[in-house]
Amino acid sequence: MAFVSIYLNFMGNAEEAFNHYKKVFKTEFSTPLMRMKDIPAQEGAPSLPEAEQNKVMHVALPILGGTQIMATDMLESMGHKLVEGNNFTISLNPDSKEEADRLYNELSEGGTEAVAPHEEFWGYWGTCKDRFGIRWMFNVMQQQ
């Protein structure tokens, strides 16, 4: 079933923030907390500094009315810098790759910072910033 999430970016304190949100909303993480060191090594990619190994790669928490918030820590070693405007993304999780492609094509038209949906180790993923400055993410999770 398709759903929408709000994806938040943090500069190293995603775990602290989400432990706080877990208490506030009295819910539990909907997926295990994944750390940067859990990412499969990619050929030719530099290894992460020790200080970034335990940063949050992904966390998800249901809040109210079926809404879920998700997050990641941005990494200084990769040139990430948190500024207002890049600290959230609307994450669309359609039921099919075809629907992800359609949404991506229409939302990225006239936009910037686009990465077309493609296969990743967790599923089919892409992102863009639309012509109005809103960041969108597209995820079709792999079937287990």
Q: How do residues 12-43 score in pLDDT, each as one tens digit?
A: 889 999 998 999 889 999 989 999 998 887 78
Domain at 3-41+49-141, CATH class: alpha beta
Among 46-50, 84-88, 103-107, top mean pLDDT goes to 103-107
Q: Hey, what are 43's tokens? A: 């050929």
In order of 91, 94, 113, 130, the CA distances from 105 in angstroms are 15, 14, 13, 10
Q: Residue 1 gets which letter from DSSP?
A: -
**97-110 as b/e, with b when 16 or more CB fall inside 10 Å?**
eeebbebbeebbee
Residue in the block written with tokens 């959230």: 88
Q: How do residues 113-133 score in pLDDT, each as one tens digit?
A: 899 999 998 899 999 998 877
Residue 144 pLDDT level (bands cut at 50, 70, 90): low
